[in-house]
Amino acid sequence: MKPITHFALLSTLFAISQAVVTFEKVDPLLGVSEAKKELYTPVDGAFRCLDGSKVIPYTSLNDDYCDCPDGSDEPGTSACPNSTFHCKNPGHTAVDISSSRVNDGVCDPDCCDGTDEYNGFISCPNICEEVGLKYRQELAEKNRLQSEGGRVKAEYIAKGIKLKETRKAELVQLKERLTALTSKVEELRAVKDGLEEAEKYAKVNWKQKYAQKKRKSSEKITGLRDRINVLEGQIDTLTGILKDLKENHNQNYHDLAVKSAISGYDEFTETQPSSDFDDYSYDEDDLDVVEEEEGEVEEEESQDHWLGRIFQPVQDQLNNVARFVGLSSKINLGAYRGKFSDAKEAREAYEKEDREKSEVELKVQEIERKLELDFGHEEEFAELADQCFEYNSGEYTYEVCMFGSATQKSNKDYNTVHLGKFSRWSNTEDTHPDHYKEQVYDQGIRCWNGPERSLKASYHFAC
Ligand SMILES: [Ca+2]
Ligand SMILES: [Ca+2]
């Protein structure tokens, strides 16, 4: 053999020898936790697999050959794929890792003491003190947050329970107010309707009287006009006679009476206007102007008159309404007679009370809606109702007002889209641990040629 060949052979043998030596030095209890060490006590130089399936020589422990079906004979090697290696991790938390990670050339992050790599190919430093310190700091911060979260939760529960009681009490008061307003509005509505009916009745009768008077006046004027026509004819006849007398009388015969008649005729014709009796003509509008002032007076008088006449029938109708709406006492129109001078005042009073009734109805609906909402087993989420939270995804900013509505706003053109109203918590049962971690908002603006928009809002609560 050549010297170089001898050297290569010796090197190989040395390497094999080292490997064998390294293998033989593996502690049979390597990778076994303190809690399980008792199970690895030899009995007559033998080891019973932990599943009890086999008894093998104690020397077969950690001999890098898998003997037991459950892998329990190789806690410190990677020979059995179903075995685990125990990292003691002093200064931190001990863990069991898969035996496949033993001597795989990678420092296992869970095995901070570096004991998973012991064959000498790589060296893993023991960083458990550093990792343990960081872990304990994070744990302390987490505990602090949980403690703070617990305090806030207790505060929210107390507020939620109180809020519910307050809402219940407020609802009782509002419903009593609503009952009173409903009765009052019905009463005022009946009064208003009665006065409006009276007003309408009075106007109709005034118009009828006005038309009758106008017709009579028109007849009188027509009669006067006929009379004027007759007089005009008579004047024409007389002036014709006088004209004929003037032109044809015997001028040689000086009769004083004839001269006086002709002189009177000349004076009459010189002083008369050319349009004769045209100024006496009239049309229907002239008649309206003449009678309007009288009509206004007539209207006021008629209204009072007719209000008085229909007072009792309206009172009877009101009492019927009172019975219909279940009022305990009759409506006394007389009490309103001095209060409302006309239907306009009654209408304004009715509308004012009706508006207040609508406002109270809305409050009742809102409180009833909130009382029906699921604010958690202990009302812990009631305090968060209507509080809004934003999330910026880059392209959009989402806003969720809890138990209210959700919107999506573009960060480019600030166009806002309604995504929906609060519908429910997640689909899980309310006993599920994740039930109160997700809310569904639906019935949003319909997508173009698609379904209605909706949103699922997930929350992380530290308590
Ligand atoms: Ca073995
Ligand atoms: Ca490893």
Q: What per-residue confidence (pLDDT) applies to 274? A: 59
What pLDDT is recorded for position 225? 85
Using alpha carbons only, give the angle 401, 403, 404 rounded to the nearest 5 degrees: 55
What is the C-alpha R_g of the chain? 56
pLDDT of residue 335: 53
Q: How many angstroms is it from 99 CA to the middle of ligand 2?
A: 9
Spacing, Cα 95 to ligand 2 middle (Å):
13
Cβ-in-10-Å burial (0-12, 13-18, 19+) of 12 comes to exposed
Q: Which ligand is nearest to the CA of 103?
A: 2
Q: Which are the contacts of 80, defined by CB distance < 8 A and separation ≥ 6?
A: 66, 68, 71, 73, 74, 99
Q: Find the 276 Cα to ligand 2 centroid distance in Å.
A: 135
Give the Cβ contact number of residue 94 at 10 Å.
Answer: 15
Q: What is the pLDDT along the chain (463 residues), one digit of tens a residue?
A: 333 333 333 333 333 334 443 445 689 999 999 999 999 999 999 999 999 999 999 999 999 999 999 999 999 999 999 999 999 999 999 999 999 999 999 999 999 999 999 999 999 999 999 999 999 999 999 999 999 989 999 999 999 999 999 999 999 999 999 999 999 999 999 988 888 887 787 777 777 877 888 888 888 888 888 888 888 888 888 888 888 888 888 877 778 788 888 888 888 888 876 555 455 455 555 455 444 444 444 444 444 444 455 456 656 665 665 555 454 445 555 555 545 567 888 899 999 999 999 999 999 999 999 999 999 999 999 999 999 999 999 999 999 999 999 999 999 999 999 999 999 998 888 888 889 999 999 988 888 777 878 888 777 665 4
Say how far apart CA 396 and CA 416 lie, in whole Å.
Answer: 9
* Cα–Cα distance for residue pair 191/340, rounded to 1 Å: 10
Neighbours of 307 (CB within 10 A): 19
The rounded Å distance from CA 110 to ligand 2 centre is 9
**Residue 308 alpha carbon to ligand 2 centre in Å:** 108
- Checking 166-172 for CB contacts under 8 A at 24+ apart, the result is 167/367, 167/370, 167/371, 168/371, 170/367, 171/364, 171/367, 171/368, 171/371
CA of 455 to the centre of ligand 1 (A): 57
Cα distance between residue 319 and residue 321, in whole Å:
5
Q: Which residue has the tokens 């109270």?
A: 360
The alpha carbon of 35 and the centre of ligand 1 are apart by a number of angstroms equal to 21
pLDDT score for 252:
79
Ligand 1 centre distance from Cα of residue 62 (Å) = 5
In whole angstroms, give the CA distance from residue 297 to residue 282: 24
Res 322: pLDDT: 53
Q: Distance from the CA of 28 to the center of ligand 1, in angstroms? A: 10
Ligand with minimal distance to 74 CA: 1
How many residues appear in the chain? 463
Q: Is the pTM of this model over 0.75?
A: no
Q: What are phi and psi of 20, to 5 degrees?
A: -65, -45
CA distance 239 to 261: 11
The SS3 call for residue 242 is helix
Q: Looking at the CA of 79, which ligand is closest?
A: 1
